[in-house]
Chains A and B, each alone.
Chain A
């Protein structure tokens, strides 16, 4: 039954009641006429019936109001009737009126007893009172007619009630069916999502394993990375559906536990930075240092909400900034945690704001076509926040930006602030952010932090201002933007002996700093700022991060990193890669404990804050396990807590040591040297990462420039020098060919393929550190896409020239390494065996098959095997090797042509 049917039934019932009323009134009018009632009674009956008729047929008046009127008018009729007549006949109308009232309230049982009562009354009148005359046949007929009318009316009323009951039953059944269907749908969604999630996890995990392998070609690595990225996107969607189905079916349970907001903010920033990629937007963070250290709530869900809002903000913002504000207001029950995510993105229209939190809707679909999403995100967030007793709101101006705010009431377990500064009285810090895009925000944030932390913070507008301040007062710490630093490098170098200097810069576009000057990566906010002031080893120096100071490797050491956040795991694993250790990861405490049962792990890095079982709990369990191994196993806490006394707290909880997040390489190095078995450590000379000294030596003779900056390229391989040189060698090898090809496409005005090639050049050049070339390629790609071919024509010459120069410079740089055996083609000294004709035919046939089946791997395997042979004195590698390379670039037709060339030569023979 549909809702419209229910409405129709209600209206029909009202009309039936009206019909009975009219019939009743008609009888009363007849009685009035024959019994000689006063005229006003008839008039009143007419008016009442007319009013009710108008009400019944007026579409704007509700059924409820009609029934109320019906009741009132019926009472009036009953009253008048009983005034006018004393015998049973007039009362019949009254009875009918009363029956109608009972019918309106749909009480079938009451109506039944009421009928019995009327019947009894009539019998009482006939046999006891003798008030009903049966003297003439007319009188008998009159009695029969009156009683029949009454009981017919009663019959209709009973039927009406039954029909109403049936309708109601059907309606309830429909509602129940709908609810059941909803449950089935939710269960189905949950089951399906779970079934899909399991293999998807495997796909993403396997990609990770493949990506960790060395020797992958650039294209294979890119393809694998794309699979992994798509897999992750799909997993995120599946998780959304799972959450949504849980919320729909009321199965979403919140797990309230103590947590520290520092860990949440750290995770959110890691994720947001990862999502930001190359977008030129600033992520600003404003965290209130007075937020209590221990708050009780569902940290996983709160993190999910903030990450979702941040991801959305980053997604819809192309320029400007995304600002995360986290603050609190003190309440009797604890605090209200207030979070705001404001962006300078595309904004939302007023009409769309109304639809924003509706399930399955992504507003402004036309404009957002390029943006992925199920439209479930905000509906889930709202449900979660509501379940936590909080509220979410949005403010937006179309084309200007959007701000999402939410507030959640939380209990507090530890009132102390989540960040504190050691000896604030001894700190005199100055911020100098003069020329950065977000200078005003930084200045505001910096001064605000100073007053909240009770520390002497001042701002200098320029280097000149800073110099004056340095001359007149003592400055203990200087926080300076990258641009300001570059404007006064000499000054900062000079003052670095007496003050701690921190340069705030982007990961992507960072400069090298001298040893005493340290770097804070953006976003610059309370936690890294306080860590810098506390000298908590949380600030990274660019050179340290790149593995330049790795003094040992430990290939035999087995390390377990435990963190519930995948990005954090990646970051930690990436930092440890230069040590060439065997890294294992676990995403929860219980998983880590399971892995430790094999007793072959040498060192554990354990995140402090994790859902279900936190790091402290997991460590306690490990320490409680049977055997000396578990008592002695070094467990190091990873934490974003920037508070004094953290080390003591962790050591008391069973940890051996702690490292603050973000992890600093020198802190990691110290921990590894202290806790790894000494026999595992070896000199790094032979390892992949032991070439840093040689790189340094080469670097000394080489000056980085926007034309070619190896440091920049190296940052894209996570400091992996070997991988970088591999990529560089490949770039050089294919460079000249590509350059010619681009020129050829330009000559032919084949803009479609030109844009594709220039696009590829943009990313490959950036990945080796050829920034200028990458930017020019980007410019030409944009010009090509917007069909500004005149701009392309003007600059293609410059592109070609730059490309050549980059290849030359890069070759020169690569030539500086004296052991290029891994990256340059090796000269085969061994003598090649002349292949037999049969064997060659077999290779040709297999190769043709591989090309036809677009099977690059088989083609590569054939090339590898065939490389041991020559044909008519010419190495087979020349043919098969080239074909394999073409196949690797998905140019299977060209690869087949290469094989056909060999086949033709064989046939000529």
Chain B
């Protein structure tokens, strides 16, 4: 029986303990500040990057691994496994799928042992897919079966999050200056979601941010009959313990999930969404 490894990008935002238990190797994204280049999650956290930017840090550019780094990563993973399913962040928001595929070409025949999946999602939206892939692997599915399931599953995952304003989206070139100014002036809070792999505006919440967050949770979970109740991820960027606890209570009120997992967003995701961004990520039936 072939040994199948599940690997992913560090922006999957799954808890370190989970990754360790299921032996999921991750490849690091990088954040370049004015002082150095740091591995996301290992050398720099979401708190670090947000504090750096709030302090007036000159720049914070996020970057996916290069094809060379992917190659090295895959080669190391192949020492442990016969075949690998690598789940990447959506190709519409990052160049990781492109680089990972370029690495496969560099690897020649060994590259054929690796399935690179464009998840169409980010953060724990990818996390849902990884958990499913692990479950299938443990149940004895083949790499092809897992890859096929991933392709079908990515249409069912819902990844959305609310941000305090469009300020960080503007800083990273994902929104215009006027959009940023209007959201700040009128106290508007964009809700973004991943639609067919692209990050799009789903809705706008207004008023006090704490209340807007609760409104967002309500609109996502209440009256939503399609949700698979197995698992919900609440992923946040530097939210207070109280906000997270309020969101969790509200989610528990609206839906009876088997488990609700709270995770912190990676520095890459946080640096793009800004402090206070929070999302509920689930799978539809």
Contact = CB atoms under 8 A, between A and B. Distances in A.
Given A68-B185, A329-B39, A332-B37, A391 B240 contact: no
A65 B36 contact: no
A335 to B, nearest CB: 10
Interface string A620-648: 00000000000000000000000000000
A336 B36 contact: yes
28 contacts: A60-B208, A62-B187, A64-B185, A65-B185, A68-B185, A329-B43, A331-B36, A331-B37, A332-B37, A333-B36, A336-B36, A336-B38, A336-B43, A338-B42, A338-B43, A350-B241, A354-B241, A389-B35, A389-B36, A391-B38, A391-B44, A391-B45, A391-B48, A391-B52, A392-B48, A407-B38, A407-B44, A409-B35
B186 interface: yes
A838 interface: no
B36 A393 contact: no
Contacts of A60: 207-208
A818 B36 CA distance: 69
Interface in A778-823: none
Contacts of B34: 389
A490 interface: no
10 interchain residue pairs of minimum CB distance:
A389-B35, A409-B36, A391-B48, A407-B43, A393-B45, A350-B241, A391-B44, A331-B37, A351-B241, A409-B35
Given A60-B208, A409-B35, A354 B240 contact: yes
Interface in A373-397: 389-393
Contacts of B36: 331, 333, 336, 389-390, 409
B47 interface: yes
A389 B48 CA distance: 11
Contacts of B47: 393
A64 B186 CA distance: 10
B243 to A, nearest CB: 12
Contacts of B38: 336, 391, 407, 409
B185 A390 contact: no
Contacts of A392: 48
A64 to B, nearest CB: 7
Given A60-B208, A409-B36, A65 B186 contact: yes
Given A333-B36, A351-B241, 18 more contacts: A60-B207, A62-B187, A65-B185, A331-B36, A332-B37, A336-B36, A336-B37, A336-B43, A338-B43, A350-B241, A354-B241, A389-B33, A389-B36, A390-B36, A391-B38, A393-B48, A407-B43, A407-B44
A391 B43 contact: yes
A290 to B, nearest CB: 15
Interface of B: 33-39, 42-45, 47-48, 52, 185-187, 207-208, 240-241
Interface of A: 60, 62, 64-65, 68, 329, 331-333, 336, 338, 350-351, 354, 389-393, 405, 407, 409
Contacts of B39: 329, 336
Contacts of B187: 62
A326 B44 CA distance: 16
B35 A390 contact: yes
Nearest to B55: A386
Nearest to A409: B36
Nearest to B41: A393
A235 to B, nearest CB: 32
Contacts of A62: 187
Nearest to B36: A409
A339 B240 CA distance: 27
Nearest to B264: A395
Contacts of A331: 36-37
Contacts of A409: 35-38
A63 to B, nearest CB: 12
A391 B48 CA distance: 6
Nearest to B244: A350
A500 B183 CA distance: 71
Nearest to B184: A64
A65 B39 CA distance: 41
A636 B104 CA distance: 56
Nearest to A350: B241
A333 B241 CA distance: 38
